[in-house]
Each structure stands twice: as structure tokens, then as C-alpha cells.
């Protein structure tokens, strides 16, 4: 029997509806995702790649249960659905967490890193104060910062250190799945490479499943086990990283490879 998927995306479609300019009452429906099907095994890093506007973030938001969609998304066999979902947002937060592009926008600049890391545990009422502080120290270690960082305010940190704190916050509830949406795209090449290696280390040490969203296929190839190439809300092709990178089926995939040459972000 096949092992159960960590993440199943089955026939997911999504449409944004906006008001038409100048015509009262008229609405325009814009299809953004069209019949997306993806299965991700436990502990797998899956790359989602495509040019800006193709729907990657929208799919990430569907997985996180932040927006409505048609079709089914299951994490660990449990339906994630912002309408009639089988689990609450709290339960969902313990299964899936996200890391976004701009760490400065994700963190309150005047808070201390330790306070921010402890926050998810406080909100979910997990552990005693002492246990929570131990969790903060362990997580700082996991993201490559020593325990003195818990007393540092966010605005005293470099952008790379901020992103490490964001990743730490995402890890505090010990989710099985992380959605990393362009998580290294705003960082310069050397810092981006360090964060990329951190994701790879976390994948190896924690057996963490990951959806790594990016627009650079070369970078996604470096990190991921399998890759889906998206265009205009559809999946153009998907396969092992090796298949997509070495034997792309579509001209568009070859274009993406060419566009990403030489840069890590
Ligand atoms: N809240 C929204 N309302 C209407 N259209 C949106 C909204 N968010 C994104 N879009 C549109 O949906 C498409 C996909 O966007 P997005 O998922 O952000 O793509 P990507 O992350 O691949 O750059 C784009 O054309 C974008 O303009
Ligand atoms: Mg995006």
C-alpha cells in the first residue's frame, strides 16, 4: 500500500472576483488556479516554480487555508478547507506554517526575538514558562543563532538573522509542513545561499516536508526533491528535480532555466 501523502492537492481551482471600474454592480471573475493536482510525501521538499503572477502565492494561501478554493487539500489526510473544514485554524497552524519573502514585514521590529519565538507557544497555551524558554533556545540553535539572540530586538538584526527568526517562529509548533514563499528572493546572494542551506539542514534533521516557492528554477533544483512548473494558473509539468532540470518537456521550462542561470535569487 502506498504511504499516505503529507500534502494532497486535488483538483484545486480558484477565481478572484473584483469589481469592474466604472460599471456599478459589474464584477469580473479572474481564474487564477486551474485544476492543480500535487501529492507530496512526508519529509519531501517540493519546488513550485514559475514566473511572477502565475498563481504560486495563491496556491500557498489555499494550502494555508487563508482563502477559498474549489477542490480538496488534505494535510496528513485531514481536509484543509476554509469553508467546511474538518479542523480548526488552530489545529491547522500545528500542521502547516509559512515563511514569506520579506522578514522585516513579518516581524514586529520592537519586540525581542525570544518573545516572538515564544509567542506561538503562548497562543496555543503549550508548556510552562520554563518549557517554553527551553523550546526557544532549542529553536534558536536549530536556525543557527546562539541563545543570546533571544534578548535582541528585531530592528537590531540583519535581514538574514530576521529570516532565521521567521523560520524559527514557523518551527515552534513543530509542524510537519512548511510553505516557504519566495523565502530567499529578497536576500542578497550569499545570505540567500545560507538560508537555502538552512532549509536543507532542517529538512534533513527534522524530516520536515516543504513547499518551496520560487521563480528561479536553478535554485529550486538545488534544494528540491520534486518540482512542478506553473504557468498561468496551471501545472505545465512536474517530476523529480532531475527530470525537470535535465530533461524539461516544455520550452517554457527551458526558458526558466536559462533565465535563472548564474544567480541564486
Ligand atoms: N487578492 C487578489 N485579488 C485579485 N487578484 C489577485 C489577488 N491576489 C493575486 N491576484 C492575481 O492573481 C494572479 C496570481 O497571483 P499570485 O498568486 O500572487 O502569483 P505569484 O505568487 O506566482 O506571483 C495574479 O494575476 C495576481 O494579479
Ligand atoms: Mg508570489
Give tens-digit pLDDT for 213-228. 999 998 999 999 999 9
Phi, psi for 215 (deg, rounded to 5): -110, -5
Which pLDDT score is estimated for 21?
A: 76
Gap between the Cα atoms of 8 and 218, Å rounded = 25
The CB density around residue 31, as the number of other CB atoms within 10 Å, is: 13
Phi, psi for 84 (deg, rounded to 5): -100, 50
Query: Span 75-96, mean pLDDT?
Result: 74
Which pLDDT score is estimated for 1?
A: 41
Instruction: Compute CA distances 153 → 34, 56, 159, 186, whole Å.
Output: 43, 32, 13, 21
Enter the C-alpha cell of residue 77.
489526510
- Residues within a 6 A CB radius of ligand 1: 16, 18, 32, 50, 52-58
Which of the listed residues 33, 51, 57 should we mutate to test ligand 1's pocket, taking the one with most ligand atoms within 8 A of CB? 57
Q: pLDDT category, 26, cuts 50, 70, 90?
A: confident
Query: Span 145-153, mean pLDDT?
Result: 97
Q: Is the model's pLDDT at 2 over the cut of 60?
A: no
What percentage of the chain has pLDDT greater than the value 70? 94
How far does the centroid of ligand 2 lie from the alpha carbon of residue 220, in Å? 15
241-254 pLDDT per residue, tens: 999 999 999 999 99
Q: Is the model's pLDDT at 90 over the cut of 90?
A: no
Gap between the Cα atoms of 148 and 139, Å rounded = 13
| Contact indicator for 216, 265 with CB cutoff of 8 Å | yes
Is residue 214 classed as helix, strand or coil in its secondary structure?
A: strand
Query: Span 158-180, mean pLDDT?
Result: 97
Q: Which ligand is nearest to the CA of 182?
A: 2
Q: Which ligand is nearest to the CA of 32?
A: 1
Amino acid at each position: 500500500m502506498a504511504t499516505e501523502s503529507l500534502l494532497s492537492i486535488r483538483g484545486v481551482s480558484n477565481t478572484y472576483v473584483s469589481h469592474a471600474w466604472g460599471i456599478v454592480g459589474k464584477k469580473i471573475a479572474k481564474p487564477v488556479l486551474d485544476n492543480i493536482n500535487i501529492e507530496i510525501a512526508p519529509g519531501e521538499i517540493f519546488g513550485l516554480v514559475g514566473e511572477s503572477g502565475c498563481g504560486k502565492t495563491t496556491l500557498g494561501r489555499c494550502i494555508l487555508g487563508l482563502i477559498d478554493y474549489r477542490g480538496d487539500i488534505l494535510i496528513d489526510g485531514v481536509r484543509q478547507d476554509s469553508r467546511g473544514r474538518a479542523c480548526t485554524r488552530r489545529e491547522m497552524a500545528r500542521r502547516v506554517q509559512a515563511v514569506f519573502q520579506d522578514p522585516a514585514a513579518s516581524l514586529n521590529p520592537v519586540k525581542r526575538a525570544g518573545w516572538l519565538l515564544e509567542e506561538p507557544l503562548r497562543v496555543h497555551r503549550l508548556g510552562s514558562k520554563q518549557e517554553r524558554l527551553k523550546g526557544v533556545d532549542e529553536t534558536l540553535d536549530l536556525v543557527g543563532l546562539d541563545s543570546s539572540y533571544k534578548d535582541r530586538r528585531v530592528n537590531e538584526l540583519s535581514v538574514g538573522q530576521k529570516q532565521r527568526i521567521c523560520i524559527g517562529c514557523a518551527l515552534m509548533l513543530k509542524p510537519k509542513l512548511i510553505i516557504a514563499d519566495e523565502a530567499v528572493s529578497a536576500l542578497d546572494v550569499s545570505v540567500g545561499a545560507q538560508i537555502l542551506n538552512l532549509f536543507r539542514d532542517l529538512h534533513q534533521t527534522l524530516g520536515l516536508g516543504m513547499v518551496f516557492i520560487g521563480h528561479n528554477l536553478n535554485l529550486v533544483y538545488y534544494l528540491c526533491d520534486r518540482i512542478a512548473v506553473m504557468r498561468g494558473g496551471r501545472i505545465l509539468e512536474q517530476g523529480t528535480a532531475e527530470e525537470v532540470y535535465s530533461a524539461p518537456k516544455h520550452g517554457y521550462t527551458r526558458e526558466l532555466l536559462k533565465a535563472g542561470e548564474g544567480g541564486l535569487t
